[in-house]
Amino acid sequence: MERTRLSFIVDHPVVAKQWSEAMARAGKRVEILVKIDVGFHRCGLDPDSRDTVATIREMAALPGLDFRGLLSHAGQAYHAHSEDGLRLMAEAEVRTMSDLASWCRAKGLAVDEISLGATPPARFSLQHEGFTEYRPGNYAYFDRTQVALGAATIDDCALTVMARVVSKPATDRIILDSGSKTLTNDGARGFAPAPGYGVILRHGVPDDTLLIERLSEEHATVKATTGSTALEPGDRVRIVPNHSCVVSNLVDQAWLVDGDAVEPLPIAARGRIT
């Protein structure tokens, strides 16, 4: 903490008290942001509850904790069915957080930071004011889900998986060496159905005739929907995964490619889940 600015997210007094006690024992202070549920219904305080402001004040008053503000994640945006649906979710998140910040300030709490974040509605959220930080975490890579939700194009997707054809048991079926341990079992979400476990690129262009229909741990079963494919064992393809966040955490090292320059990029957070 001497070398970095660190903040924690809390959404329950018990958790906040535990951090308070830990800071007191260490003789340190740490910044906290209180998580607010803006519709995803995972973590966060209910912004419409009459007790929410009092709960925030209780946590903000604990020794060793410096209350900085409010934080949200509109994860429900991943289940949007249209552009209009995304836009309404973005507007609702901004309005909810701004209103709650005003109520907190009216009760004497200084709300210096209002942090929002989700990649799908970012293009709408950033048209508004009322927050100090936005966290579109997936934007660094993008993926097939972001394409399906209108947040990116295939050309925007920076992370791909290079896979090799290792078998061709039938004219309409090939097997790749990239299974669930590489591509994950996550499905894609979007405004329209996006079947399969990623998009296969041929010469940088999506090949809609190839469907990754099933994954084993080490293998991907690909169906040629036209009845045949020219791909043979030994050939390589690139795959835009459905969910790049998970894919990057499944490998020890990625490769940065810039024209003819290729450099290794160690995944520093690999295996750091405790």
What are the structural domains of the chain? 7-135 (3.20.20.10), 154-266 (2.40.37.20)
Three-state DSSP class for 229? coil
- Show Cβ contacts of residue 228 under 8 Å, excluding neighbours closer than 6 positions: 171, 172
Q: What is the predicted pLDDT for the residue at 27?
A: 95
pLDDT tens-place string over residues 17-54: 999 999 999 999 999 999 999 999 999 999 999 999 99
> Where residue 77 falls among pLDDT bands split at 50, 70, 90?
very high
Evaluate whether 72 touches 36 at the Cβ level (below 8 Å): yes
User: What is the rounded average pLDDT of the residues 96-107?
Assistant: 98
> Per-residue pLDDT averaged across 135-151, rounded?
96
Give tens-digit pLDDT for 155-173.
999 999 999 999 999 999 9
> What percentage of the chain reaches a pLDDT higher than 90?
95
Bridge-based pairing of strands 173-176 and 205-206 is unpaired
C-alpha–C-alpha distance, residues 142 and 244, integer Å: 7
> Among 21-25, 113-117, 246-250, whose mean pLDDT is lowest?
246-250
Give the phi and the psi of residue 85 in degrees, each rounded to 5.
Answer: -60, -45
What is the per-residue pLDDT for 270?
A: 87
pTM for the whole structure: 0.92
Angle at 68 between CA 63 and CA 72, to 5 degrees: 120
Q: Residue 45 has what DSSP assignment?
A: B
Neighbours of 160 (CB within 10 A): 22
Q: Across the chain, what does the average pLDDT equal?
A: 96
| Whether pLDDT at 1 is above 90 | no
Q: Residue 58 in contact with residue 48, Cβ under 8 Å?
A: no
Q: How many angstroms separate the CA atoms of 244 and 146, rounded?
A: 10
Write out pLDDT tens, residues 181-236: 999 999 999 999 999 999 999 999 999 999 999 999 999 999 999 999 999 999 99
pLDDT of residue 3: 85
Tokens 């591509």 sit on residue: 183
